[in-house]
Structure 1
Amino acid sequence: MKKIGIMGALQVEIDILLEKMDAHEKRTVAGFPFYCGKLYGNEVIITCCGVGKVNAAACTQALIDKFGVNYIINTGIAGSIRSEIRVCDVVISSDVTHHDVRKDQMTSLFPFQEVFQANGELIQMAKEACMSTLEKNKHHIGRIVSGEAFVSTTQLKNDIKEAYQPACVEMEGSAIGHVAFLNDVPFVVIRSISDNADEEAEMSFEAFEEIAAHQSAGVVLEMVKQMNLSEGYVKRS
């Protein structure tokens, strides 16, 4: 049976998923917790990778090597870059990239990719899940960028916006997409907005962290609910 790997950086981002999981067992690899079980009849591995790209990359590789996942969904929270994307909206990744690595370095050095494309079918499934769980116009599809710092100044936000034209910013998705690309594993990143990546980001993050995390996880639950895994591909019921 095919397996879905679901990753969150924070425990709050995966708590609802674990509550819905059937008969799970916990394994620890390289310090990361991996919960193995089923969601709506699909075999899933849920993990909390911790904050930052290095943690996310290591955990993603473990998901692939140790648990043999065939699809990866990253759930969590993010800071909005665009004014029309508001707190508690959901962003689905069209692609991901690192905002703290120069573009010429991305293209001139292995693996010679400026961005990492999310899987088209997983994007569509996430879109349909958003449409069935969220209010109208509360979800967006766009680029998600990641870096090793919490973005909390308007200057840095504007610099990232000018250079990458992303929908939102966070600290893990690009590393997950990077490793998934290297291993030819389909992925998608789903993020609910907790703040506006400006001077009020920390206060907004504290106020909306749990709400946004649960909203993103709810979208993932709906995705998995609508999925039937069959040999070689994702098939919707």
Structure 2
Amino acid sequence: MIGIICAMEEELQAVLAHVKEEKQVRTGTTRLHYGTLNGQAIVACLSGVGKVNAAMAATIVCMEPAVDLVMNVGVAGGLRSGQHVCDLVISDALVQADFDSSPLDGEEGIGLRFPVRPELVRKASAIARQLDIPYHVGTIATQDLFMARPEDFAKLMDRFPQSACAEMEGGAVAQVAIAFEKPVLVLRTLSDVVHHADNPMEFSKFAALASRQAADVIAAWCAQA
């Protein structure tokens, strides 16, 4: 069973449009949708914004014994000059970039890092090529921060220059999934790129497109499971 955690309601509904739903279960404020997608058993839910919300949703999903893969989809800000709005970023690692215990632990206390299994990266990359979606593979940086100031970007890239995009949930999902000994894959669609002077698409239009794209990737993934 694949556990699918969506950051936005639009993304959840786009995934559910492909799902033959069997039941809904509510745990706390989290609504879990159980069913099948292209013959693959799934459970999908909405996390909401931020690391605490993401960790709560991931914990609930991971407590389902049948879940053997956790996928997290959402949007992110691109950090590389060759990126464009609506490009897909496939995680090969996650880092909680705002974790900092360096006064006690030195350099080892800056950031919490979580790996992604190479076979998951290869499969996601193949699906992106199959669907003709421009994609990038790299580290996804998670912070409880919406980066809007040049100094935020400078600090992140000074500490984690390998980062491909920045967002607010993926690192928390990865930490929980790995604690439950479940593989994790985080996919992000770029809503903006720091090196570009403007965002060429209104967010409302972008959100709908990003949601459909994420759902298409998941549907293709389940078809090949």
TM-score of the superposition, structure 1-length normalised?
0.85
Q: Hey, what does 1:87 align to over in structure 2?
A: 85
Aligned partners of 1:129 and 1:220 also within 8 Å: no
Q: Which residue type is aligned with residue 154 of structure 1? A: P
CA distance in structure 2 between the aligned counterparts of 1:146 and 1:10, rounded to whole angstroms: 16
Structure 2 unaligned runs (5+)? none
CA distance in structure 2 between the aligned counterparts of 1:113 and 1:155, rounded to whole angstroms: 18
Work out the number of aligned pairs and report it.
Answer: 220
CA distance in structure 2 between the aligned counterparts of 1:215 and 1:50, rounded to whole angstroms: 19
Aligned partners of 2:114 and 2:175 also within 8 Å: yes
Q: Hey, what does 1:152 align to over in structure 2?
A: 148
Q: Does 1:188 align with 2:188?
A: no
Structure 1 unaligned runs (5+)? 228-237
Match of 1:134 among 114, 125, 132: 132
Equivalent pairs: percent with the same residue?
28
Counterparts of residues 58-77 of structure 1 (less than 5 Å)? 58-66=56-64, 68-77=66-75
Which 4+ residue blocks in structure 1 deviate beyond 3 angstroms? 103-109, 197-201, 203-207
Q: Which residue type is aligned with residue 175 of structure 2? A: H
Aligned partners of 1:194 and 1:204 also within 8 Å: no
Q: Deviations over 1:86-116 (max 9, x none)?
A: 111000001001111127469867xx98410
Partner SS for 1:157? helix
CA distance in structure 1 between the aligned counterparts of 2:194 and 2:98, rounded to whole angstroms: 15
Q: Hey, what does 2:171 align to over in structure 1?
A: 174
Match of 1:214 among 212, 215, 221: 212
CA distance in structure 1 between the aligned counterparts of 2:50 and 2:107, rounded to whole angstroms: 22
Match of 1:116 among 111, 114, 117: 114
Q: Which residue type is aligned with residue 18 of structure 1? A: L
Q: Deviations over 1:134-175 (max 9, x none)?
A: 24xx11110001111211223212221221120001110000
Aligned partners of 1:106 and 1:114 also within 8 Å: no
CA distance in structure 2 between the aligned counterparts of 1:70 and 1:79, rounded to whole angstroms: 29
* Deviation at residue 62 of structure 1 after TM alignment: 0.7
Partner SS for 2:63? helix
- Aligned alpha-carbon RMSD (Å): 2.3
Q: Hey, what does 1:162 align to over in structure 2?
A: 158
